[in-house]
Amino acid sequence: MTVKTALHQGSILLEEGNVLAPRLTAEVLLSHALQKERIYLFTHPEAELGQIAWIHFGRYLHERLKGKPTQYITKRQEFYGRDFAVSPEVLIPRPETELLVEAALRLEGRIVDVGTGSGAIAVTLSLEKQQRILATDISAPALKIAAANARALGAGVDFLQGDLLSAVASRSVDAVVSNPPYISESARAGMQLEVRDFEPHLALFAGPVGSEIYRQLIEDAARVLKPGGHLLLELGYDSLEAVRALLDEPWMEIAVVNDLAGISRVLTARFLA
């Protein structure tokens, strides 16, 4: 079995299984099975697959056909140009979250990333801003992965375990940044199988309505922020109005950033107590 043949057969299987981007997915999985960069597939199409690589590739294809996200198979995901380790204990970092990072890069002072998960936001901010970042998560396994990513990438991040901002001292930070859970329980049945059945529910579901975590986070942020501090929240595609309704005085200077599809993706507010 050559690389070219394996790649062709894998692409067909994934396409017949209605997997999105079947050719690209086959390339990523075959590269992972071979422990090679993707360029190897194109520069060595006639190379023979060893038995172990073939067995691994077959298992990866089977897992993907069952709905397991490619990132949980390869245990890697790129974010802001860097390679992050991921597992089913953490949400897979999404490209749209880079908009939240871009907004946070303009801020000064001490920043806390709430619900850090893989650590993608906190690590990126630390490396891009060349400063220490505080990060929290309620999940001990998630914090272990985030800390490993920080070490691997050389980022300065201090991790605290706790529910949202419960472990952060009052009036101690200049900015709160978060991509919190915002999916309502009623939306569970209609979700993509890859997300609903494989990504951590703790990082996905907020409660019956979907705005419950936003409400708690906004209340907590009013406690930990210094006067004049900033709150930056990633939004679900239909979260804007519910979140905006939670931001009365002393929250001011409310602004929204849209993604390339025109969806309201990041909300920023200033705490003017």
171 and 266, same domain (yes or no): yes
Residue 245 lies in a domain: yes
**How do residues 259-273 score in pLDDT, each as one tens digit?**
999 999 999 999 998
Would you state the pLDDT for residue 193? 86
Q: Which of 74, 75, 97 is closest to 149 using CA atoms? A: 75
125 and 237, same domain (yes or no): yes
| Model confidence at 41: pLDDT above 90 | yes
Overall average pLDDT of the 109-118 stretch = 98
127 and 211, same domain (yes or no): yes
191 and 266, same domain (yes or no): yes
Could you tell me the CATH number of the domain that includes residue 193?
A: 3.40.50.150
Residue 236 lies in a domain: yes
124 and 17, same domain (yes or no): no
**How do residues 76-101 score in pLDDT, each as one tens digit?**
999 999 999 999 999 999 999 999 99
**Percent of the chain surpassing pLDDT 90:** 95
Buried b (16+ CB within 10 A) or exposed e, 147-186: bebbeebebebebeeeebbebbeeeebbbbbbbbbbbbee
41 and 123, same domain (yes or no): no
Tell me how far apart the alpha carbons of residues 177 and 99 are, in angstroms, rounded to a whole number: 12
Q: Average pLDDT, whole number, for the chain?
A: 96
Which pLDDT band, with edges at 50, 70 and 90, does 38 fall under?
A: very high
Residue 81 lies in a domain: no
**How do residues 162-205 score in pLDDT, each as one tens digit?**
999 999 999 999 999 999 999 999 898 889 888 999 999 999 99
Tell me how far apart the alpha carbons of residues 122 and 251 are, in angstroms, rounded to a whole number: 24
Tell me how far apart the alpha carbons of residues 210 and 151 are, in angstroms, rounded to a whole number: 34
Overall average pLDDT of the 4-20 stretch = 97
Tell me how far apart the alpha carbons of residues 35 and 59 are, in angstroms, rounded to a whole number: 15
Name 134's bridge partners.
Answer: 112, 158
Other CB atoms within 10 A of residue 133 CB: 27
The alpha carbon dihedral of 193, 198, 55, 78 has a sign of positive
User: 250: cis peptide before it, omega within 30°?
Assistant: yes
104 and 157, same domain (yes or no): yes
Higher pLDDT: 66 or 189? It is 66
| Model confidence at 212: pLDDT above 90 | yes
Q: Which of 168, 187, 184 is closest to 176 using CA atoms? A: 168
40 and 117, same domain (yes or no): no
Residue 234 lies in a domain: yes
**Percent of the chain surpassing pLDDT 70:** 100
Overall average pLDDT of the 215-235 stretch = 97
Q: Which domain holds residue 24?
A: 3-66
196 and 132 Cβ atoms separated by less than 8 Å: no
193 and 259, same domain (yes or no): yes
Residues 142-146: contacts with CB under 8 Å, at least 24 apart: 142/89, 142/90, 142/116, 142/117, 142/118, 142/200, 142/203, 143/116, 145/85, 145/86, 145/87, 145/89, 145/90, 145/117, 145/118, 145/119, 146/90, 146/116, 146/117, 146/118, 146/119, 146/122
Overall average pLDDT of the 103-130 stretch = 98
10 and 117, same domain (yes or no): no
The alpha carbon dihedral of 21, 85, 189, 210 has a sign of negative
Other CB atoms within 10 A of residue 11 CB: 20
103 and 149, same domain (yes or no): yes
Instruction: Burial-class residue 110 by CB neighbours within 10 Å (0-12, 13-18, 19+).
Output: middle
The conformation of residue 107, written as its DSSP 8-state character, comes to: -
Tell me how far apart the alpha carbons of residues 77 and 85 are, in angstroms, rounded to a whole number: 6
Other CB atoms within 10 A of residue 145 CB: 22
Would you state the pLDDT for residue 257? 96
Overall average pLDDT of the 40-48 stretch = 96
140 and 224, same domain (yes or no): yes
Based on the structure, what is the number of domains in the chain? 2
161 and 136 Cβ atoms separated by less than 8 Å: yes
Query: Taking CA 258 as the corner, what is the angle to CA 252 and CA 263, rounded to the nearest 5 degrees?
Result: 115
Residue 80 lies in a domain: no
Could you tell me the CATH number of the domain that includes residue 55?
A: 1.10.8
